[in-house]
Structure 1
Amino acid sequence: MERVKGFPSRCLKMLARWLCPGADDDHAAIAQRLGMLPKSEVDHADDLAQWVEDERAAIAQWEEAERAAARDSLQAFTLRLNKRLAAGAGRSGNLVFSPLCLYAALSLWATGARERTLNELLGVLGVPSRDVHTFHVCTLARQALTDRPRTGGPRVSFGCGVWHDATVPLRPAFRDVNFHRQPEEAREQINAWVAALTNDLIPTLIGRDALSHLTDLVLVNTIYFKAKWNKSFDEERHLFHRLDNIAIDTPFMRGFGRQRIAWHNGFKVLQLRYEQGRPLPVQSQPQPTYSMCVFLPDVRDGLCWLASQIA
């Protein structure tokens, strides 16, 4: 690497590593980044240092904008999905789903899709292109799926896989099984993969006779989360009023102390934080925190109204 006028070579190499982490001294990326420097700014160390600060600030601003776009994309997808699923569940059914899991499963499908199928998937996910979507998925994974059991934090395990029949040519990254001739063996293989990722909480995801010789492709997504409350609760039984006006004796969590509560028109939101554990080593990305948010309507039969307001 050539010495820049007015700037020691050793310092220049340190600066290059700062701009391009993990790169060698003669890496092409370093030369490219340094080649972007206007000559008038290279002549003075102070100007060069200021250019570096401006560059890093611009990159940080762009990354934060992309993280916000990824969150907005998932949030919009969640609201649309909740409205559709809630309408199907009706007043008497329970509804449990993971927007992140469904988002990831469709994302995996979009990875191998083309033309009309790809455009339809991107429209459902709410992103303009495959490249933007790939960045969003990576950003969401870093933000929401940080496994921290060694520091006393939450245990998070996430898996997303595609199994395709051996007669269907796909990229090597996708798993191949024999649905046509050995559907039961394929079912056991998928279930074993899910059980391992969920710490055996879900030993059987694919039921018997769910796969057959007509099956060509199976997308599987799973998430496992285990954490302690930041402040523990005592158990106390109270009447729980269901939507069908039947009240049943149910164990409730009871605790005292300051809580994070937001009041809105017609409902409240309670945020219950999980124990985060010891801080991780210093990172460029902000470390995620986990909590449960409970939405409670002001009136006893206001759940359906609340769901419509959220959607």
Structure 2
Amino acid sequence: MLFVVSNLSILILAAMMHATHQDRPYKSLEAVNEGNNKFAFDFYQALKNESGNIICSPISADIVLALAYHGAVGATAEEMAKVLHLPASKNVLLEGHKDLVTRLQDSALKLATRFFIEKQFHLKPDYKSDANSYFLTDVELKNFREEPESARTEINVWVEEKTNNKITDLLPGGSVDSGTRLVLVNAIHFKANWENKFDKANTKMEPFHITPTETVNVPMMNLRDEKFPYRFSDKLNAKICELPYKRNKFSMILIVPEKLDGLSEVESKLGQVNLMEE
């Protein structure tokens, strides 16, 4: 089989951990996953008009914001719950995120979350305990008040270490000052081999359609004589192909519009379909 993506498409990294009918004990995870998927598509809708290519990690935003929500009260908590599509039960929220974060930890995927807090302030013991138990989050004291630049540098070093030096200078100069009291960071790093590897010898220059009238030649990977899960979505009017990574815990899902100018249509409908069931 020859699979070539030759027009604008959407790539999604999916964790193969959705609950089945036999997974009744994981109701909390199901509830958190459902809300996270809705938030992910909302998140993408907010980013889609940015110029250039987009790579985003909604799960990172969900984890840090859900953690912040757990410490919020009143109108702030209500607004955050609405935007994040969080379950109404705090217990479901905590147990679901614990299961989610635990399952995502893998040799291929590294997730790390940390509180960096002004050393003269302290988190409530119960909140600190919940952050560690349910979100696997540690707390680190920093001297933001007297040494903000040193604190910024140290946080950037932590991020570099957790992302295998892929993300550097996360916090640019001036982003942390003496008035900073809390920095909540989530770092994610993914590296895995394909279940079916692409042969570099088969990579060749092919036309890539940016718009119906604009085409550029780019290095295009080709893979022959392999079979992948594939389907056509009538709802999206797009082709969907799943490329699994080793051990099949993670997959890359490619969504290719049927029409050369069909990307906007696909983007507008993404949140209306379940990609795992399409």
TM-score class, shorter-chain normalisation, is: 0.7 to 0.9
Match of 1:71 in 2: 33
State the Cα deviation string for residues 170-201 of structure 1 (Å, max 9, x = none): 24643221222211101111111111111122
Paired with 1:169 and 1:64, the residues of 2 have a C-alpha distance of 33
RMSD: 2.1
Match of 1:209 in 2: 174
Q: Given the alignment of the two structures, is residue 250 of structure 1 paired with residue 225 of structure 2, yes or no?
A: no
State the shift of 1:291 in Å: 0.5
State the shift of 1:243 in Å: 4.1
Q: Given the alignment of the two structures, is residue 103 of structure 1 paired with residue 62 of structure 2, yes or no?
A: yes
State the shift of 1:217 in Å: 1.9
SS at match of 1:71: helix
- List alignment gaps of at least 5 residues for structure 1: 1-59, 149-154, 277-287
Aligned counterparts, 1:269-308, within 5 A? 269-276=240-247, 289-308=249-268
SS at match of 1:254: coil
Match of 2:112 in 1: 159
Match of 2:9 in 1: none
Aligned counterparts, 1:218-237, within 5 A? 218-234=183-199, 235-237=203-205
1:239 is aligned, of 192, 201, 207, to: 207
Paired with 1:245 and 1:176, the residues of 2 have a C-alpha distance of 54
State the Cα deviation string for residues 1-54 of structure 1 (Å, max 9, x = none): xxxxxxxxxxxxxxxxxxxxxxxxxxxxxxxxxxxxxxxxxxxxxxxxxxxxxx
Matched residue type, 2:263: L
Match of 2:44 in 1: 82
2:84 is aligned, of 125, 129, 149, to: 125
Q: Is the 8 A contact 2:28 2:93 kept in 1?
A: no
1:259 is aligned, of 228, 232, 254, to: 228
Match of 2:144 in 1: 179
Match of 1:112 in 2: 71
SS at match of 1:248: strand
Q: Is the 8 A contact 2:112 2:187 kept in 1?
A: yes
Paired with 1:103 and 1:201, the residues of 2 have a C-alpha distance of 21
Paired with 2:121 and 2:213, the residues of 1 have a C-alpha distance of 52
Residues 1:245 and 1:185: Cα distance change in structure 2 (over 3 Å) = farther
Match of 1:137 in 2: 97
Paired with 1:208 and 1:67, the residues of 2 have a C-alpha distance of 39
Matched residue type, 2:34: D
Give the structure with the larger strand fraction.
2
Paired with 2:53 and 2:243, the residues of 1 have a C-alpha distance of 22
Q: How many residues align?
A: 231
Which protein has the larger Cα radius of gyration, Structure 1 or Structure 2? Answer: 1
Q: Is the 8 A contact 1:241 1:247 kept in 2?
A: yes
Q: Is the 8 A contact 2:30 2:96 kept in 1?
A: no
Paired with 2:65 and 2:232, the residues of 1 have a C-alpha distance of 35
State the shift of 1:268 in Å: 0.6
Residues 1:66 and 1:111: Cα distance change in structure 2 (over 3 Å) = closer
Q: Is the 8 A contact 2:105 2:111 kept in 1?
A: no
Matched residue type, 2:232: W
Whose RCO is larger (CA < 8 A, sep 6+)?
2
Aligned counterparts, 1:26-105, within 5 A? 62-86=24-48, 88-89=49-50, 92-105=51-64
Q: Is the 8 A contact 2:60 2:186 kept in 1?
A: yes
Match of 2:161 in 1: 196
Paired with 2:179 and 2:120, the residues of 1 have a C-alpha distance of 12
Paired with 2:212 and 2:119, the residues of 1 have a C-alpha distance of 49
SS at match of 1:215: coil
